Amino acid sequence: MISFRTCPVTGLKIESQAASLLRWHAVTAVVHFLIGVCAALLLALTRWQAVHLLPADWYYRILTAHGLNMLIFFIIFFEMAVLYFAGPILLNCRQPAPKLGWLGYWLMLIGACTTNYFVFAGKADVLFTSYVPLKAHPAYYLGIILFAVGALISTLLFFATLVVARREKTYTGSIPLVSFGALTAAIIAVITLVHGALIYVPTFFWSLGWMQLDPEVYRMVFWALGHSSQQINVAAHVSCWYLLAALTVGGVVLNERVSRTAFFLYVLFISMASAHHLLVDPGVGPAWKVWNTSYAMYLAVLASMVHGFTVPAGIETGQRLRGFTQGRFQWLTRAPWGDPGFSALWLSLVIFGFGGGITGVVIGTEQINIIAHNTMRLPGHFHMTVVGGTALCFMGVTYYLLPLIFRKRVAFYKLAQIQPYLFGAGITLMGIAMTYAGTFGVPRRHWDVSFTHAPFPVQFPPVVDLFLAAMGVGGILAFLGGISYCLIAVASVFFGKTLSDEEIRSGGPGLPPGVVRLPRQTHSQEQADEAHRQGNPGTVVLVVIFFVCFVLYYFTNWKVLSMLWKVG
């Protein structure tokens, strides 16, 4: 039985099965986020050397759980929700084969629960990467395989949706940019999941003693999964940037073709960029390293930089069309900073670009990796990309999904308004502190950097303690932001009253401004000409600042590297 309702805000037709699948994936994502964020607090309080909370075995156990629940379970559940949104809902069509959708969902859930059980039972202290020949209980690998199969089913359903929508002509022209971005994410997801099968299935057999596995081959194929999966995140959250920009300030897409080409670059080059995890490995040669990490990776980075320009520029133009035309920056100063959808979008953009982006390109350079590999610079970098970028953006999306899809008010709206700032500030502080600590050679994934029981003691300079403390404080702030997010989401979904169309249209507390009055999405020719004449003087300044930071950081690192031992 197919039933549709028409969204009172956007006019989209929403099919009940698609909405239901979306809701369950999103809620399950938040539950995994909750596990991950509690683990995060324990880890931050352990690595803050002055507190040093957990014992060694539990530190590594919780670290394993944190990585899996955040990087795999939370993010992929949420991405499946994004696919259901960008598929049947944005394309105005029915959900094909909803039963298969539920099969995918249950496989993912059973897989996630199995793996989590064996991790918390202490049967799989192998960390997220589970580098062979470090061995976990076979069920650990089996759980991840089930999860991946479930995700693959949901992804294939998204492709089926595209076919259905095209055949039933539920949209005109090409698919919307947000769906296009989601399509990119879905294609990368398939590549990723195939690599996932290629590595976890043999590892599962190996853990049962059925076959041999080479440690270096494992590392290479694992990262084809591990890093590509981060590109699903990037493609998905960039799509969400465009979505949030449109919903919150009527952000325009300046040039569809440029944005689409940039998405396409992700698909082409991202698997190869995974090579930057092996830059200081013995298994592969310099030509392979340089080729994959420069020529391939820089084209993927170029794609991110294109989005990093077009999204703020689209926001600027959208704001200028709404009348904020004074000076270079009135569009920014008069932006809806109290709208959690907008603040999350903007902070995500800034943290991802300035924090995660710059550090990522620099430490992914073949030689500079020598002074970065496995130090805290790594988690510093990816907390600013995945957490400050992806997770924060998804939080912003949540504040719009709650009224539009769940038909609920955002509970504790005042808290929701400060939540993105709290979370963003925490992650930024933590990311920067980790990056600096790593610059002194502080290792990541390490229980005790005071080396109390080590045969040859190592004494880091006192400033490292300061950075570790800052990391702890940042971690606590981010935890408070994260837990507020869970609280708001859970309270809204389970304890909120379902709103009628009339109530959503008439506004009231707990409804973000873009929901109450959706900014204009289409403009007349005169308006477009005027926008074109004004251009994006504000964004240009921001881009110049970005490049200055980037160049300074890049060459500082080469300078530091040149002072080391000669090695080659």
Partner 1 sequence: MIMFAIMPLWHWKGGQNPSGIRGRTTPQEFRQRTERFIQEYQVGTEKGIPVVQPPPGADLYLEASMWSWRPVLKLKKGASYTLHLSSFDINHGFSLYPMNLNFQVVPGYDYGLKVMPNRSGDLRIICNEFCGVGHHIMTGKILVEE
Residues of this chain that interact with partner 1 (CB under 8 A) are 56-57, 60, 125, 127, 129, 131, 133-134, 214-216, 219, 278-286, 289-290, 293-295, 298, 361, 365-367, 369-375, 439-441, 443-449, 451, 453-458, 554, 558, 561-562, 564-568
Query: At its nearest, how many Å lie between partner 1 and the CB of residue 344?
Result: 31
Phi, psi angles (nearest 5°) of residue 252 = -105, 155
DSSP state of 519: P
Smallest gap, in angstroms, from Cβ of residue 546 to partner 1? 15
DSSP letter string over 434-500? HHHHHHTTPBSS-S-TT-TT-SS-----HHHHHHHHHHHHHHHHHHHHHHHHHHHHHHHHHHSPPPP
The helix-helix angle for 413-439 and 392-401 (nearest 10°) equals: 170
- Smallest separation, CB 24 to partner 1 (Å): 34
- Residue number, 173 or 285, with CB nearest to partner 1: 285
Residue 532's SS3 state is helix
**Measured from the CB atom, is 219 or 237 closer to partner 1?**
219
Q: Which is nearer to partner 1, 163 or 458 (CB)?
A: 458
Say which residue the tokens 């465009």 belong to: 242
> What is the gyration radius of the CA atoms in the chain, in angstroms?
23
Angle at 88 between CA 83 and CA 92, to 5 degrees: 140
For the residues of 59-102, what is the DSSP string, one character each? HHHHHHHHHIIIIIIIHHHHHHHHHHIIIIITTT---S-HHHHH
Report the nearest approach of partner 1 to the CB of residue 188 (Å). Answer: 23
Q: How far is the CB of 83 from partner 1 (least distance, A)?
A: 33
Could you tell me the smallest distance in angstroms from the CB atom of residue 368 to partner 1? Answer: 9
128 or 485: CB nearest partner 1: 128
Give the integer Cα–Cα distance in Å for 521 and 254: 13
The runs of H, that is alpha helices, within 168-296 are 177-207, 215-249, 256-273, 286-290
Indicate the residue among 219 and 260 with the shorter CB distance to partner 1: 219
Residue 281 CB, nearest approach to partner 1 (Å): 5
CB of 549 to partner 1, least distance (A): 15
DSSP 375: B
Which lies closer to partner 1 via its Cβ, residue 256 or residue 366? 366
Measured from the CB atom, the residue of 282 and 462 that comes closer to partner 1 is 282
Beta carbon nearer to partner 1, 117 or 298: 298
C-beta of 67 vs 388, nearer to partner 1? 67
Task: Tell me how far apart the alpha carbons of residues 438 and 296 are, in angstroms, rounded to a whole number.
Answer: 26
Q: How far is the CB of 125 from partner 1 (least distance, A)?
A: 7
B/e letters for 275-294, b = 16+ CB within 10 Å, e = fewer, are: bbbbbeeeeeeeeebeebbe
CA distance 439 to 452: 22
Cα–Cα dist 268/27, whole Å: 32
**C-alpha 312, offset from chain centre:** 18
